[in-house]
């Protein structure tokens, strides 16, 4: 991207290798418990039982915070990710993928006792994705892995709601980042995360988080309402900036001073929503760290989110990135 002022972002989350497959609704009804959509943690044995019924799932680097860091790197930011991978083929794949995106892998930890995390992303004909995840090595990230010096020279820490499953860890990460002077952004990641942490999440947001990303389901679950406007008002009370993403309906950003509706960029043939919200967050953060108006930040998010739903998984092609660069340059009025 032309005229690119270098920005730096540290991500904290679970480095996950996504295994993506097209399925129909009957496959979900037969093989998973719980609701369609969202994410649930399952055992390695349960994951393997489902995988046995699928032929050659497509493999791609994933993880919510990881996806955002990958996208920021491709935009030209200096992105770094901390988390644990296994000492295995999938761990090597994840690390090399981040290196190929020109990301910083120095803060990735290697675990010799557990495999790299895997997430089966089952995509139905309506382009919705239902995830079942075994966290493996990612679960072994601990408070001793996170040091104050990890945040040096990073103005912003971006993390994911999935870390809330380890409350001591995410509290330690956010507290250490805040004490180091970082702004903190958090993607709620899943309505299951919100529902499982209602006794903990409000104080976490209020005490540490500056920018919150949520989709419509997550915002409604947090506010315990079916009214999206009310949900936005409730969620925005806990952070300086709240962005609620709602797919083809666009998104809404609310700060202490303004409320902005961001029009969607439509995808003619949506394939898979995996990573779309993470890419939206990357576009927003890219603009935000360049001190651009919130409306421009949201528009950049929409550009990336629209491309993410047009491909299986969260790894875009070089052709897609060329389109992104053209569109973002138009938004930024760069010639």
**301-319 tens-digit pLDDT:** 999 988 887 666 567 888 8
Question: Can you give the pLDDT at residue 3?
Answer: 45
SS3 158: strand
**162-201 tens-digit pLDDT:** 899 899 999 999 999 999 999 999 999 888 899 999 999 9
pLDDT at residue 1 tops 50: no
Q: Tell me which residue of 69, 72, 110 sits closest to 90, measured CA to CA.
A: 110
State the CB neighbour count (10 A cutoff) for residue 252.
21
Contact present, 156 and 68 (Cβ < 8 Å): no
Those residues whose C-beta lies under 8 Å from the C-beta of residue 141, and which sit 6 or more positions away, are: 14, 82, 83, 84, 109, 166, 169
State the CB neighbour count (10 A cutoff) for residue 59.
16
pLDDT at residue 63 tops 70: yes
Contact present, 158 and 80 (Cβ < 8 Å): no
Q: Give the confidence band of 268 by pLDDT, cuts at 50, 70, 90.
A: low
Percent of the chain residues topping a pLDDT of 90: 69
Question: Can you give the pLDDT at residue 310?
Answer: 66
Going along the chain from its start, the domains and CATH numbers come out as 8-16+62-116+134-331 (3.40.1190.20)
How many angstroms separate the CA atoms of 110 and 88, rounded?
A: 9
Contact present, 85 and 110 (Cβ < 8 Å): yes
pLDDT at residue 270 tops 50: yes
**123-139 tens-digit pLDDT:** 898 878 898 999 999 99
Question: Can you give the pLDDT at residue 335?
Answer: 39
């Amino acid at each position: 991207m032309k005229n690119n002022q270098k920005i730096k972002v540290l991500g904290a989350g679970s480095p996950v290798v996504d295994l993506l497959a097209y399925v129909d609704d009957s496959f979900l009804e037969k093989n998973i418990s719980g609701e369609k959509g969202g994410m649930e943690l399952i055992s390695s044995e349960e994951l393997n039982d489902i995988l046995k019924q699928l032929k050659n799932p497509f493999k791609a680097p994933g993880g919510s915070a990881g996806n955002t860091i990958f996208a920021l790197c491709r935009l030209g930011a200096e992105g770094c990710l901390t988390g644990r991978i296994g000492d295995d083929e999938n761990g090597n794949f994840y690390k090399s993928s981040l290196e190929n995106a020109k990301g910083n892998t120095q803060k990735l930890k290697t675990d010799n006792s557990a495999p790299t995390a895997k997430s089966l992303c089952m995509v139905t004909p309506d382009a919705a994705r239902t995830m079942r995840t075994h966290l493996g090595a990612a679960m072994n990230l601990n408070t001793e892995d996170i040091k104050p010096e990890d945040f040096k020279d990073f103005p912003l820490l971006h993390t994911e709601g999935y870390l809330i499953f380890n409350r001591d860890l995410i509290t330690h990460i956010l507290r250490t980042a805040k004490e180091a002077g970082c702004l903190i952004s958090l993607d709620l990641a899943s309505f299951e995360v919100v529902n499982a942490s209602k006794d903990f999440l409000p104080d976490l947001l209020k005490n540490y988080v500056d920018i919150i990303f949520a989709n419509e389901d997550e915002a409604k679950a947090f506010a315990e309402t079916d009214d999206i406007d009310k949900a936005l008002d409730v969620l925005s009370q806990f952070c300086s900036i709240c962005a609620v993403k709602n797919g083809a309906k666009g998104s809404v950003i609310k700060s202490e001073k303004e409320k902005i509706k961001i029009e969607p960029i439509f995808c003619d043939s949506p394939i898979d929503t995996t990573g779309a919200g993470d890419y939206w967050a990357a576009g927003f953060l890219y603009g935000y760290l360049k001190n651009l108006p919130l409306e421009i930040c949201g528009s950049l998010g929409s550009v990336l989110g629209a491309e993410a739903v047009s491909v299986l998984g969260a790894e875009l092609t070089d052709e897609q990135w060329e389109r992104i660069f053209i569109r973002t340059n138009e938004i930024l009025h760069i010639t």
